[in-house]
Structure 1
């Protein structure tokens, strides 16, 4: 039993050290980051998510900066129940490019870090939470539903460097009519 506890503690320390090394985009600008983004790729290794991997579609979101340095995110995602709209408030932290938000679904605060972006084509974002175990998600966003191959390879390399198995890195197909025409497009 003691060996298992030591092993779990060692794994947790390694995971925490990996994420401690992740720094946000240098000189991050929320104003440049604002606007429409498509989630064109992501890596997520939650066992409960495995059943849904082949059902995931590209989703779209709009980042709106707030005067206090925080941001609102309106996100449209295709679900089994249709095209759903989700609203999030990303609260600024003392580090530009890092935010927190309260997940009503999980009843907890989650961390968001904009790891890399050129503002005009792509962004790599890391979402981190501790919920029974550590969960991390890496997302690739594009200003359009297609990104260059070198950007896609950069995203995959980053996800692999964070310990995601290759089979958990997804590049979903586009969603049809989500958001519905006239909603944010």
Structure 2
């Protein structure tokens, strides 16, 4: 009698783990009729929320980054985007680039994290292209890592856009204290309004 009970408990635990790992994917969607050409250009990371331990440890020290989204160089494939991010780290401006490869319907991408060595899936869930974009990222190998990001075309998004991001992040399961609006820094964003 102990063996069936142990098997049942194991199945319940596996089921619970599956449920805990899949909500991020189940909750993800993309902007209807996503227009990649309108998504290109300069954005500022005006809002972030994440369950990653590094984020929780360093969120008070984060500052706004700029990101330039452009078509990838020829030979990378159709629909591939090159994202070049500039940010302040240790009082120096750093720039990193990554390739977002189409991974489903338009607005859904994946990339390999050079730092973590894992695949990240990114969905552009909502955007008006001219003012804001709401992105959702899930790490497929990072023990349940997920992140919500507010891209803004300006360094000072309107209060309504910030509220929209807070609501979006909370719908993704983040608590209010997980939501950060990094302050801008003139050092790495100079000349990029």
Question: With structure 2 as the length reference, what TM-score do the two structures score?
Answer: 0.85
SS in 2 for 1:134: coil
Q: Deviations over 1:36-80 (max 9, x none)?
A: 000000101222332211100010010002461111000001112
RMSD: 2.2
Structure 2: distance between partners of 1:74 and 1:138: 18
Quick one: structure 1 residues 48 and 118, their matched pair in 2 at CA, closer, same or farther if it must change by over 3 Å? same
Going from structure 1 to structure 2, the CA distance change for 1:81 and 1:103 (only over 3 Å counts) comes to farther
Unaligned residue ranges in structure 2 (runs of 5+): 1-5
Give CA-to-partner distance per residue, 1:89-123, whole Å, 9 cap, x none. 10112310000111111112110100000000000
Distance in 2, matches of 1:34 and 1:120, equals 10
How much does 1:12 deviate? Answer: 4.0
Answer 1 or 2: which has greater helix percent.
Answer: 2
2:149 is equivalent to residue 178 of structure 1: no
Q: In the superposition, relative to structure 1, how do residues 145 and 8 fare at CA in structure 2: closer, same or farther (>3 Å)?
A: farther
Give ranges in structure 1 of 5+ residues lacking alignment: none
Asked if 1:140 corresponds to 2:150, the answer is: yes
Task: Pick the structure with greater CA Rg.
Answer: 2
Match of 1:41 in 2: 47
1:128–1:167: structure 2 CA closer, same or farther, 3 Å change rule? same
CA deviations 1:112-165 (Å, max 9, x no partner) are 100000000000001111335111000001000111111111111111111111
Please say if residues 114 and 123 of structure 1, whose CA atoms lie closer than 8 Å, have aligned partners that are also in contact: yes
Question: Contact (CA 8 Å) 1:92, 1:98: kept in 2 or not?
Answer: yes
Q: d(CA) in 1 for partners of 2:12 and 2:140?
A: 19
Contact residue 27 and residue 172 of structure 2 kept, 8 A: no
Q: Are 1:169 and 2:179 matched, yes or no?
A: yes
CA contact (8 A) 1:30 1:65 kept: no
| Greater strand fraction, Structure 1 or Structure 2 | 1
Runs of 4+ in 1 over 3 A off after TM superposition: 1-9
> 2:58 aligns to what?
52
1:40 and 1:145 in contact (8 A); partners too: yes
3-state DSSP of counterpart to 2:139: strand
